[in-house]
């Protein structure tokens, strides 16, 4: 395999895009980009969306190689669903801090303490944690999954904020793992006050990974895809005064601003940036395809157990 070359200074954006598209065709690869990725990376993607949606689309393709422009647990999920495909993560250090907050040893101890509890893990978790779970959920279907199991005690990992939202919505008895997404957890009532003061008459749309005091002030709570859908469906009703404030990673507001430049669309806070997501740059996507790095592996026993939990989610989401 050829040695990795840093092409950042050697090639222009246009040259990189051209080379990536040629390599993608030559190697029968598919490029997935999470919607928090930088817009330049999204330019070369075959599919853009949330982690599970992307993994499912990749599994349905005839591609031999999946290049996942996201973070580690996303590439693992793609490998769980597509064991026969080569899965590449362009930036090996793109690791989700929240996913790392839940460890298998601690989860096993909690399961031993509550042997009758059902373990529901957010998709933003490691393959090992998924393998210890009874069912997986996404931010879009978390309430539905939790509601299905609400007659039992539930251990919910790793996001305490999403877990709180599900508990309040369904009334389920839940033990919440003390994990969080730093991007959403840093949203505050102060951010809302400033955003509403600067942009009056705007609706506040927030992601359920946000703290409860932020959720309590939201006009709409939903996953990234649900927030985008809400804007798309209501955009025609936005006059010169009405608009939306987007409480999730800043790339979503940026993309919506580009799509609807005449409308009032604002990010809740400029600090809502996922550093790990933004660490994947265009030249790293090129290097990943060129050198077929960095390949993601999941031990088969763990993969099968994690797949069972994922399949349970898909079954309950129909």
pLDDT tens per residue across all 318 residues of the chain: 444 455 555 789 999 999 999 999 999 999 999 999 999 999 999 999 887 788 788 888 899 999 999 999 999 999 999 999 999 999 999 999 999 999 999 999 999 999 999 999 999 999 999 999 999 999 999 999 999 999 999 999 999 999 999 999 999 999 999 999 999 999 999 999 999 999 999 999 999 999 999 999 999 999 999 999 999 999 988 877 789 999 999 999 999 999 999 999 999 999 999 999 999 999 999 999 999 999 999 999 999 999 999 999 989 987
Three-point CA angle 63, 69, 72, nearest 5°? 105
Distance CA 152, CA 166 (A): 14
Give the number of other CB atoms < 10 A from CB of residue 296. 20
Domain 13-96+277-297 sits in CATH 3.40.50.10800: yes
CA distances from 162 to 126, 168, 184, 272 (A): 17, 10, 10, 17
- Domain covering 98-180+303-316 in this structure, CATH number: 3.40.50.10800
- Taking alpha carbons only, the member of 127, 183, 129 closest to residue 157 is 129
- Euclidean distance between the first and the last CA atom of the chain, given in angstroms as a whole number: 43
Give the H/E segment covering residue 202: strand 202-206
Answer CATH for 187-271 from 3.40.50.10800, 3.80.10.10, 3.40.50.620, 3.40.50.720: 3.40.50.10800
Give the number of other CB atoms < 10 A from CB of residue 193. 11
- Taking alpha carbons only, the member of 257, 247, 199 closest to residue 227 is 247
Query: What is residue 51's predicted lDDT score, i.e. its pLDDT?
Result: 77
Three-point CA angle 183, 215, 317, nearest 5°? 85
Tokens of residue 95, six digits = 């690791």
Q: Can you give the C-alpha Rg of the chain in angstroms?
A: 20
- Spell out the domain ranges in the chain: 13-96+277-297, 98-180+303-316, 187-271
Residues linked to residue 117 through DSSP beta bridges, in sequence order: none
- Taking alpha carbons only, the member of 98, 93, 100, 99 closest to residue 281 is 93
Query: What is residue 9's predicted lDDT score, i.e. its pLDDT?
Result: 58
Domains 13-96+277-297 and 98-180+303-316 share a fold: yes
- Taking alpha carbons only, the member of 116, 247, 256, 133 closest to residue 192 is 247
CA distances from 86 to 52, 80, 143, 232, 288 (A): 17, 11, 33, 35, 12
Cis-peptide, bond into residue 175, ω within 30° of zero: no
- Is the CB of residue 217 less than 8 Å from the CB of residue 191? no
């Amino acid at each position: 395999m050829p040695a990795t070359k840093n092409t950042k200074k050697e090639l222009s954006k246009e040259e990189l895009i051209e080379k990536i598209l040629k390599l993608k065709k030559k190697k029968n690869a598919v490029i997935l980009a999470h919607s928090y990725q930088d817009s330049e990376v999204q330019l070369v993607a075959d599919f853009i969306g949330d982690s599970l949606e992307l993994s499912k689309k990749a599994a349905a393709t005839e591609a031999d190689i999946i290049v996942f422009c996201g973070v580690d647990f996303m590439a693992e999920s793609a490998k769980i669903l597509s064991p026969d495909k080569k899965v590449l993560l362009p930036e090996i250090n793109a690791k989700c801090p929240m996913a790392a907050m839940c460890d298998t040893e601690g989860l096993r101890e909690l399961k031993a303490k509550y042997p009758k509890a059902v373990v529901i893990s957010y998709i933003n978790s490691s393959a090992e944690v998924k393998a210890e779970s009874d069912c997986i959920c996404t931010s879009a279907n978390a309430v539905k999954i939790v509601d299905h199991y609400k007659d039992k005690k539930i251990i919910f990992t790793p996001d305490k904020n999403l877990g709180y939202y599900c508990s309040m919505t369904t009334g389920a008895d839940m033990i919440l793992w003390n994990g969080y997404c730093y991007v959403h957890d840093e949203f505050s009532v102060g951010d809302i006050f400033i955003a509403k003061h600067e942009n009056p008459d705007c609706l506040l749309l927030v992601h359920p990974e946000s703290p409860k005091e932020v959720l309590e002030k939201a006009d709409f709570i939903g996953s990234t895809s649900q927030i985008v859908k809400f804007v798309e469906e209501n955009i025609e009703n936005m006059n010169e005064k009405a608009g939306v404030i987007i409480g999730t990673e800043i790339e979503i507001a940026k993309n919506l601003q580009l799509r609807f430049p005449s409308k009032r669309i604002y990010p809740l806070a400029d600090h809502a940036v996922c550093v790990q997501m933004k660490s994947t740059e265009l030249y790293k996507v090129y290097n990943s395809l060129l050198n077929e790095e960095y390949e993601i592996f999941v031990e088969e026993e763990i993969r099968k157990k994690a797949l069972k939990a994922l399949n349970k989610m898909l079954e309950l989401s129909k």
